[in-house]
Structure 1
């Protein structure tokens, strides 16, 4: 019998990537990563993952490489861990007759402007929005909607290029940043200008059409939206929970989703839940860890089960309050040192991870890449979990000069 292989297309070398590799090995699969730059996956060597160079922007090249691998392996499934290659994965799965997402639905969803149009057509509450291609259109759109506005690329993840603009001077500055060569565009620049929906920020994780959990995220400081803390479950009334759940399922229908994972972000405004973004994938770190701590559900493993054609198990095994705090430097410079002084040994602390090493250059850009680590904790109550997190954070120290 040939060895069962699990193909991963350009998973992130940090974050969710190692979780997928580890989970694949736990269920008896041999993980193979296809990448245009195998050198970035050196950290996966310890996980016994095979990394193969291929032009991942070329669908025919990917089909050719997977066809070659089929001569030596039984390919059990193909997936990716992020937006950029998820539609490609859907096309590969369709070609090889494997379970996978609908590539057309994924492509529509990953274009934030197209996503907005489909949600609006279905009557789902979203912020007012306009699409702009140049500085004049950005300014006119902001004037129509009314300041303050959120300005962001129509395609992108991790809050890259996303900023709150409270004046026309800030608007001009950020537009120049996006169009002046600072932001990396994978296609022709298209800018989304939208109303600033104000209120608590929540997220929902869904597998298929089943809502796994609804959490809360705190971010900032404005004008950027760098995540500071994630909490699961969100402290919601039954009515709020039901309204968010109802809107979530409406999003799936409007966008043609419903296979595999979906992550949805909301703001709870004076008028109720407003959809900020629908992602046809799992939310990134630390949401999978929080879900396992809070409910005993391993989202990555359950996603892999779906990908290889097995039935996933989404029932809750327990109920705890889980939370994560991100470490975010307050200045640019050189990281002199970073250490946890026994924070990881505190009862209730599940994980302490640093993303950078001493002597790393810190250059803040106002997106998720600004974080340099996280702490995750869980306990029976939200108050106790928050106290554990604070104790752990107090034991962590770093210096940037």
Structure 2
């Protein structure tokens, strides 16, 4: 058996289970409410209901499973439970990352201090436990700053604040929250950091090896919704080397180096500054782009590592070379119309291999504040990232033009 502690609600959760089965291991999902993952029932996945926030209850459930069959590994596709899975794996003597390193990495204040002390280029930052502290930090540096929770995922709570009033209001809102969207307790701390305006990238690292650099597309401030990715990033050799070097340096400094890590960076005057390190596979369907572009299956690699099997990061001969994704988001309040027609319009663009709308016709939608505001996606492939990007951009525009029916301000409703 390969045990999975909770799952992504979107993205790679289903793929983790599929890869486990392909390798001959029975996937078993442990969750407080497995019903929140529709694929579990659709794929007839074995599930165990357990309070995954209760360490004793979770360990008891694992022990019961271990009496009936051999547990070969423990993983999680959800960032919130990677450390929990690592702790269980260690107790069973199975492969996994350092749970302590993962927990430290997930606290962005601890992570940022560790990176700075190790000489990894990072933005300037300050940690605040009160709104007044956040305001003081912003005033000391001057100019706009980014204020974010010290724990989180998917750009939740990340916001550009241009003045003291905005800093105070956003910090107060973040500090008032005692639990995150998963119901897990959160530290009463925020990170105030330098606003970097250079282009954004991610480096997908496996172990201590930089697999690929990804060009990231981000929506307009004050929020930082990721609107697309290009694999691989089209970059001069020196910039590509700087990004990969900073990413691997960061992974090593944090004591990771087992399995996947998703490192987000910005180029700032030629310096590759690490924004954050996530001790997990990338979201935003980046692993799927890497598989299509390079023939390297990062989900399979992570599952193999969890099972203690050899990992091969080499690509395949039939890889197309490049892949791009664009997420469909509304610019204004609107209603989704004919979603089938929108998908068909996107798929008619040469090079587009996938198009999907996530919500049914008639859904009222509005501008995205984070990843949850995405309406759908299109994926295009080509021999080079420029061609795949152009195809994805065209398909996104056609899909939105077909799907969205604009409504008046008077009729608009909150999303």
Which bin holds the TM-score, normalised by the shorter protein? over 0.9
Aligned runs of 1:50-65 on 2, under 5 Å? 50-65=46-61
Give the Å deviation of 1:14.
2.1
What residue in structure 1 maps to residue 292 of structure 2?
293
Partner of 2:321: 320
Residues 1:214 and 1:31: Cα distance change in structure 2 (over 3 Å): same
Match of 1:368 in 2: 371
- Partners in 2 of 1:72 and 1:334 — Cα distance? 51
Deviation of the 1:362 alpha carbon: 3.2
Native 8 Å contact 1:13 1:43 kept in 2: no
For residues 365 and 178 of structure 2, what CA distance do their matches in structure 1 show? 17
Aligned to 1:330: 331
**Aligned mate of 1:112, from 91, 97, 108:** 108
**Structure 2 unaligned blocks of 5 or more:** 408-415
Please give the alpha-carbon distance, in whole angstroms, between the structure 2 residues aligned to 1:234 and 1:183.
Answer: 36
Q: How does 1:90-169 map to 2 (within 5 A)?
A: 90-169=86-165
Alpha-carbon deviation of 1:363? 5.6
258-267 or 67-76, which deviates more:
67-76
Residue 244 (str. 1) matches residue 240 (str. 2)? no
CA contact (8 A) 1:128 1:145 kept: no
Secondary structure of the residue aligned to 1:324 is: strand
- Cα distance, 1:280–1:181 mapped onto 2, change above 3 Å: closer
Whether the aligned pair in 1 keeps the contact of 2:377 and 2:396 (CA below 8 Å) is no
Taking structure 2 as the reference length, the TM-score comes to 0.91
Is 2:343–2:357's contact at 8 Å kept on the other side of the alignment?
no
- Deviations 1:25-48 (CA, angstroms, capped at 9, x unpaired): 222222111111122123322222
Q: Is the 8 A contact 2:127 2:189 kept in 1?
A: yes
Task: Say if 2:225 is the partner of 1:220.
Answer: no
Aligned 8 A contact 2:179 2:185 in 1:
no
Residue 365 of structure 1 and its aligned partner are, at CA, apart by: 5.7
Residues 238 and 288 of structure 1: CA distance in aligned 2, closer, same or farther (over 3 Å): same
Could you say what secondary structure the match of 2:173 adopts? helix
Equivalent in the alignment of 2:259:
260
Decide whether aligned partners of structure 1 residues 201 and 183 sit closer, same or farther in structure 2, where only a CA change above 3 A counts.
farther
Q: 1:178 aligns with which of 168, 174, 178?
A: 174
List gaps (5 residues or longer) in structure 1.
Answer: none
* Mean Cα deviation higher: 389-398 or 164-173: 389-398
Distance 1:247 1:363 in 2: 37
- 2:354 is matched with 351
Kindly state the Cα deviation for residue 283 of structure 1 after the two structures are TM-superposed: 0.5
- Distance in 2, Cα, partners of 1:128 & 1:391: 38
Q: CA deviation at 1:235?
A: 1.2
Higher deviation after alignment, 172-181 or 373-382: 172-181
How far, CA to CA, are the matches of 1:394 and 1:187 in structure 2? 38
3-state secondary structure, aligned to 1:341? helix
Cα separation, 2, equivalents of 1:358 and 1:306: 41
Q: Cα RMSD (Å) of the superposition?
A: 1.9
For residues 223-257 of structure 1, give each alpha carbon's deviation from its aligned partner in whole angstroms, at most 9, with x where no partner exists.
11101120111111111111122212211221001
Q: What do residues 103-148 of structure 1 show as CA deviations (whole Å, max 9, x unaligned)?
A: 0000110000000110010111101111111111110011122221
Counterpart of 2:228 in structure 1 is 229
Structure 2 match to 1:340: 343
* Structure 1 counterpart of 2:82: 86
SS in 2 for 1:71: helix
CA contact (8 A) 1:203 1:264 kept: yes
Aligned residues: 397
- Secondary structure of 2:256's aligned partner: coil
